[in-house]
Amino acid sequence: MVPALPRSLALLACCATLAAAPARAADVPAPATTPAAAEAQAALWLRDPAISPDGTRMAFRCAGQIWIVPASGGDALALTPAGAYAARPVWSPDGTTIAFASDRFGPMNVFAVSAAGGEARRLTFAQYDQAPTGFTPDGAAVLFWSAGLGDAVETGPIPNTHEDGRQLYQVPVAGGRDTMVLPNAAMEAQWDPAGQRLLYTGASIEQPFRRHQVSSAARQVWVYDAASGHHRRLTGGAQESRSAAWMPDGGVDYLDETSGSLNVWHRDADLGHPVQVTHLAGEPVRFLSASRAGDLAFAWGGGLYRLGHGAAAPERIAIHLLRTDFPGPHGWRGNALTDVALSPNGRDFAVVARGEIAVASIDGRFVKTLPHTAGEERGPTFSADGRRVAYAAERDGHWDLYESAIVDPEEHEFSQATRVAERRLTTGTRDSMMPAYAPDGRHIAYVADRSSVRVLDPATSNDVEVLPPGRTFSYDDGPWSLAWSPDSRWLALPVQPSLFLGNIALVPADGSRPAERPVPSGEGQWGPEWSPEGGMLLWHTDEGDLAGAFHRRWTADLEGAFTSRRAREAFARRLMVPVVGDLPPAAGDRGDGQLPGRPATDPRDNAAAHEAVPRGPIPVEIDGMADRTRILSQAPGQIVFGTLMPDGVSVLTVEQSPNPKGDGLVLTGTLRDLRRESRRTLFTAVPYQPGPPPRLARDRRHLYVLSRNSFDEAGTDGLTEIDLQRGTTRLIRISVDTTRDEAEARRAAFDQFWTLTARKFYDPAFKGVDWGAARQRYARFLPSLEGTRDLAELLSEMAGELGASHTGAYVRPPVPPAERVASLGLYYDERHPGPGMKVQAVIAGGPFDTGDSALRPGDVIDAVDGEPVPLAGGLRRILRDRLRQVVAVSAHHPDGTAFTEKVLTVDLGRERDLADRAWSERKRDAVASLSCGRLGYVHLAAMDAASYRGAASDIFGRFGAAQGLVVDIRDNGGGNLHNNLVTLLSGKAYMAVVPPRGGPTQDEPRDRWTKPSAVVMNAASYSDSSLFPLAYRDLHLGPLVGDPVAGTGTSVWWDQSLIVPGLTYGLPELPYHRLDGTPSENHAVEPDIRVPSDPEAWARGRDPQLEAAVQALLPPGGAPCPEPAIQPSRQP
């Protein structure tokens, strides 16, 4: 563990001289590793250095604040206050103002403040993160990037949240309208002193701190000429190049990884041959900035360095920083619940909140929090008497099982217990997780080392392996659904006959025989559940069409298998009992096995049904179970829970569906009577948080669901209790004390990330990186971090050493309601200076696409609900906190005619979806025009079910008669679809069906495309979207057109930390290989027709990559179609 420093501390960076060119790596002092040295260096996480234009001062970031220090070192003064994260400081040309980004109001927006201190001015009002990159040469405006829709014509990429979905803007320092500078991504942009040329870093889909990438997806430095509109790529290698700064002689200094690690390089005024300036090894140089005289500042190894113009070597800057903080833990009482377990006594339930476990009374009035630790607890399970709770806890980097029990024998409600004692149940070297108490309370099944299942007797410590390693692969640490039989003699559990196929297996709890699949199936099975008396084993099974290949549960059936022939016979007898008639609902518990208050059958009918229920334990006869199966659900659906009710003939199913009134999901519960062949809806529209399935109470009268907080990502309202008799719901609000010391929580999250990477990274050799040494190097910085963004950046740097895709961490904190921007579904002329905002295009399907709206491109919006559109922030500012509201929009035509219309606003997610669809339709129309209607076009925005279904619908419905097909996967961030997509496009006609008397004909196969196709791709075709063109090329299905695609074909688990709220990090764990053994990771997919992405062509409304794909599919020598002029329209 890293020793903690006092909260009032001095951050010391010792003076050291580092070699500039042509120094050797040995000249750089290695980081000290002794405990004393680690403490001395613990607070050296200094970032974002920005040297002032006159070279006398330096702004930098530490602990989430911006500080200023003399460039020679000394005392640093805080420019921004604690409590709000601030980053990316940039100086005005005269050195009087500093612009920076801060999450003071939620998202990272742009602010400006005097370099001498004072009140910061908010300059932008966006819902998505933004950051400044520099100033205009006259110092009047701040350059910044922002991820918006961009320009309806000139923005090339489809609207997206990656770097290439950003545009470059400027905003007056004094406040005012932000206007577009470039319609496409330009990171780290800086004007030359004359304002004629703009240096910028091109976009990449990779996280910014990944190292050693050699591909077209690596960032490169570009130069934009304002007079000609010409974009020139300055760096031409396949390694990372970035953070360029102008030198006094007109040359450029920048960071480049050509030497193996990011170092400073220089090009002279003609931007010709590069020369390496620094030769630092082991760590990358970061955040290069330059003064007017050419003095450089950068970060390396946690410290800040200055290289004077003409100096032989950089020197480390000594920084003395005083800060004061209040001691003690910082925490909160919250209701962000992620799991729930019901007590058999029906009076308590356990929840997991921020990685802490608490037991609450069924009304939520009493809450007993189990012992607090810095690490994570998960997977609570109750003993049969409800007096004990077992769970898994990660402590000291190791998962073990623990049990907390009520001490006082006179106390029976866990939530009201005055004293609870904890004991450790498992010890040793293996990780123990996901416990499940047996119904008799004597045994606990659990998962060991994420690969085997064991059964523990806590009383005797007897521990038996019932499922050995090798039969499963644990992709994430989600629940394994270990289901005990009612008599505690059998376990139903998941196994994998192959990597992407799950089946249910049965195994005796004593391990006396190997686990067997009772119903081997090529369709996925998951979620085992026993009927109340144990006569049937139920599970979910994938619908037998696309889901089996996709390996995602689009729709499913609820299937059951009788555990014995006697159970099957008893079920058949129950179905044969005649239905005499319905009687009025009876009150209370009738003891008839049906839901209280539901229509009952004749009493004689009930008696006969009870006689059909088997007496005593039912033997499990695995042989023959495959012949004793039955589909229990009415039809395939998005079933999240299903079970057989105690009467033995009623099936409860719960399905999820999109919320028709907004974002998120809702649940619908139905009861199907197999004897009557009737179906009743028990409840509808219950908000649902994806995660743990609904929990059914032991009396099977109440269902419990974790409910989202008004569909807010921040957490849950609590637990929703559904009365299955009345169909009513009751929200049980729970407030759980999740107080943690934030520094300890960050350390625990750091350790968890390191350990998970050590256990799951796809290369057990870590690509030659000493992962243990990396932990030591980065752990010493933990005491100087403040907040989640600091931790995410530290983890990204550490993961970046592995040189792999899908690494790093990010933070997406919830956006406060007051900062959520509503949308009118419009493209705006982002160069219009105001007043008002000029409409460039109306997005099809948006609020103004009504058919009778008077709003047209060129109109100017003047006010909303009578409030004039402000110059600063524009419409986005006054549309905050107006989601899904009817607003009165006042506008005027170019001739001055004013009008007002009322529309219902949408959120920015809906706006982006509509803009994506409109972008795809424009490309589809362009392909039709370029090919004279001979070719079809589909764009897949993601490798997911919705994209596949949309593409398949267009391919066979809209383009069935087309001669060829253009498949566009540009800016596709991945998913899991390559198998389906390759299969869809790999059809070869083998037969035709021709009606003898005329009519439509049909080639076979009818469910595959059998004609020519071409794929358009770019450097942002990522993850599964890189596997698809690789397989497409290897199968010789058609030409690949566009940019090379980096090899990023590795399956990832994006783990959302429960220890540090809002933190998510990537764990790439499943590599894909070509059949010759070549890994897809880090091996680029080269196009057959290379057409680089061209921002100049985009600005003219052209798409050269799409044009090349069309030409590749048209017959050679055919008459070309006239080139269409792409113009803005009401449907951009």
Q: Residue 460 CB: number of other CB atoms within 10 A? A: 8
Catalytic one of 796, 1021, 1023, 1025 = 1023
Tokens (6 digits) for 1004: 């076979």
Residue type, 894: P
Would you call 676 exposed, middle or buried from its count of C-beta atoms within 10 A (0-12, 13-18, 19+)?
middle
For residue 1037, the SS3 value is: coil
User: b/e string for 367-401 if b means 16 or more Cβ within 10 A?
Assistant: bbbbeebbbbbbbbbbbbebbbbbbbbbeeebbbb
Which residues is 827 bridged to in the sheet? 841
User: Which pLDDT score is estimated for 664?
Assistant: 80
Identify the DSSP state of 164: G
Tokens (6 digits) for 137: 């040469």
Quote the CA–CA distance of 95 and 412 in Å, as a whole number: 69
Quote the CA–CA distance of 288 and 246 in Å, as a whole number: 11
Q: What is the DSSP string of 706-775?
A: EEEETTEEEEEEEEEEEETTTTEEEEEE--EE--B-HHHHHHHHHHHHHHHHHHH-S-TTGGG--HHHHH
To the query of whether residue 806 is one of the catalytic residues in this protein, the response is yes
Q: Residue 454 CB: number of other CB atoms within 10 A? A: 20
Backbone angles phi, psi at 917, to 5 degrees: -65, -40
User: Which pLDDT score is estimated for 708?
Assistant: 62
Q: Do the beta carbons of residue 1040 and residue 970 sit within 8 Å? A: no
Closest CA to 525 of 479, 558, 574: 558
CA distances from 856 to 827, 838, 850, 1130, 1131 (A): 11, 10, 12, 7, 11
To the query of whether residue 702 is one of the catalytic residues in this protein, the response is no
Residue in the block written with tokens 């800016």 = 971
Tokens (6 digits) for 849: 């696409």
Catalytic one of 257, 376, 655, 1081 = 1081
User: Which pLDDT score is estimated for 231?
Assistant: 96
CA distances from 85 to 103, 298, 330, 461, 656 (A): 6, 21, 16, 49, 38
**Which stretches of the chain drop beneath a pLDDT of 70?**
1-43, 324-335, 543-554, 580-618, 708-717, 1117-1132
Quote the CA–CA distance of 288 and 259 in Å, as a whole number: 17
Looking at the chain, the domain(s) classified CATH 3.90.226.10 span: 935-1047+1084-1113
To the query of whether residue 1081 is one of the catalytic residues in this protein, the response is yes
Superfamily of domain 935-1047+1084-1113: 2-enoyl-CoA Hydratase; Chain A, domain 1 (3.90.226.10)
User: Which pLDDT score is estimated for 554?
Assistant: 62
User: Which pLDDT score is estimated for 995?
Assistant: 94
For residue 359, the SS3 value is: strand
User: Which pLDDT score is estimated for 904?
Assistant: 97
Quote the CA–CA distance of 314 and 307 in Å, as a whole number: 4
Looking at the chain, the domain(s) classified CATH 2.130.10.10 span: 490-584+595-691+693-739
User: Which pLDDT score is estimated for 717?
Assistant: 62
User: Which pLDDT score is estimated for 322?
Assistant: 72
Fold of 336-479: Neuraminidase (2.120.10)
Superfamily of domain 490-584+595-691+693-739: YVTN repeat-like/Quinoprotein amine dehydrogenase (2.130.10.10)
Looking at the chain, the domain(s) classified CATH 2.120.10.30 span: 336-479
Instruction: Find the DSSP H helices in 579-627.
Output: 603-612
What is the CA 833 to chain-centroid distance, rounded?
36
Looking at the chain, the domain(s) classified CATH 2.30.42.10 span: 817-908
Q: Do the beta carbons of residue 675 and residue 649 sit within 8 Å? A: yes
Quote the CA–CA distance of 476 and 1067 in Å, as a whole number: 9
Residue type, 45: W
Q: Do the beta carbons of residue 1057 and residue 1040 sit within 8 Å? A: no
Q: Residue 183 CB: number of other CB atoms within 10 A? A: 20
Would you call 640 exposed, middle or buried from its count of C-beta atoms within 10 A (0-12, 13-18, 19+)?
buried
Closest CA to 914 of 755, 705, 611, 1132: 1132
Closest CA to 913 of 408, 89, 158, 264: 158
Fold of 817-908: Pdz3 Domain (2.30.42)
Q: Do the beta carbons of residue 449 and residue 430 sit within 8 Å? A: yes
